[in-house]
Structure 1
């Protein structure tokens, strides 16, 4: 039986840091292209690229990518060249959390759960199945003019991260891409160690699942706990909602805060409160890159963490206050959100975020 884990986000339109833009500007400069030409129209100056706390939206990075492709797109396999520059340290606290994970499989699971702390535009979905671990890379929502570049860049960056995590080269079982065969495939073979198949239905790569159990050389439980707390805090800051998403979140939060007993309203009730049809609400949320279910999960998770760390309520009581009929359903959801159980979270096995 196969096990599937999807990413914590559905789309590439999420806020991000500037390290990826800085990397691409540096690459372009090495090819003789001035930083100003790569940053043109993005609203970014060179000074901003040195600020580790600077945050940009995805469309800003997309503008930089379009400039890069315009200036250097004639180079064969440009995405591969850029993608191999991404190292685990490029990703900051997100990368350190991956490095500190006990095994490669757990690092991958964490990376998927917190994918919005990366720079990817392609969205991976992982499938653990007998004899093979497959990462399918979704590119359907990426603009066509930069799609191939970003598939090459993001897949290469993902592969480079796997190698960095293990401190050694990772052997792929296969690699497949949905675009035509390039004129020169030598760089593909050099990077991935296999000759990919092209013009396939999907972009994907696969590994021997046994490698997922391999301990990581820099695994550290204490460091991981600290990194997880910082990652959660960073995600919380970046997820500050505006517009329709903020309106929905406001309606989902119990009027009595964490002490409210009423189950959260369903999407039909929320739509009525916002004076629109359910279908229209779904469409507006999809345009905003989210959904009723995702917003409900965000609200429930925030309230659950607050109640588990700031009140003596039992896990069952927390489940009831969040609108779950059974504690087991809440426990399953909480583990999906955080990677641990409510009881373990409360005990401090994973340090809570200070709010």
Structure 2
């Protein structure tokens, strides 16, 4: 692996140079950024995945939806549709993509839309929905929109300051762009992270004066939800189920299941994997399947005995209150 990284290192240098030139052209105004009348809040990262964007979007939706008319706009990665699509009761995973479909299924009370052209998507939402706030999912690097407030996520085990650029690492944007964030959230922390550990990370990130750094961990549900019934983790003891994952970083889930005393087979697919008939035939031969919620929405109805373990962000210390306060200050400007 180290030999391969050395061989690909020149490619990473070229990639980093191209990314920096692009950002510079936005900074000096050669490439234009557009600001919209409707407040926009961006949730994103500098890497290709694995920081928990979807659970964070769901956390923010739950936090804000009772006080304002919310909309969420996503690219809808690997969806089958084109252009702008506003979710409704007839929408499918193919129409929206797995993550927006998951969010709409859990939060049908908010407007969920997909469009690769974020500016066009925002205009369509303003015309059709007139929201008080638009959440822009995975849009930190999409600089054609000048967001009102930006939340940058970075995973505890792979901080962007220690990461490499593609293809030798997972960085897709320049580390220098972290300065544009209003808030940095370190996700997937150990639940018992000490003050000294958090202070060490803050020193590593070296935030700007205006930036808050918050810390969250993944809290897994005690019950798995299935396509026929719900069960506890104890249900699978001695049954050797198969774990199926098509996400960027399944290691926290793997560690949680092992820590719960489960023995299982792990079939790992790439992020947003489009399960083929051969894949499904293989899965149908398994007695019990455990998966992630994102994979569940793509597999439900295609295989039996399928279960997923819910997961949500929880904040350490008083960081949830800090987040609420910072967002309230942002919204008070409108």
Q: Do these two structures clear the TM 0.5 threshold for a shared fold by scoring above it?
A: no
Looking at secondary structure, tell me which structure has more strand per residue. 2
Looking at secondary structure, tell me which structure has more helix per residue. 1
- State the TM-score, normalized to the length of structure 2: 0.27
- State the TM-score, normalized to the length of structure 1: 0.26
Greater length-normalized contact order (CA 8 Å, ≥ 6 residues apart): 2
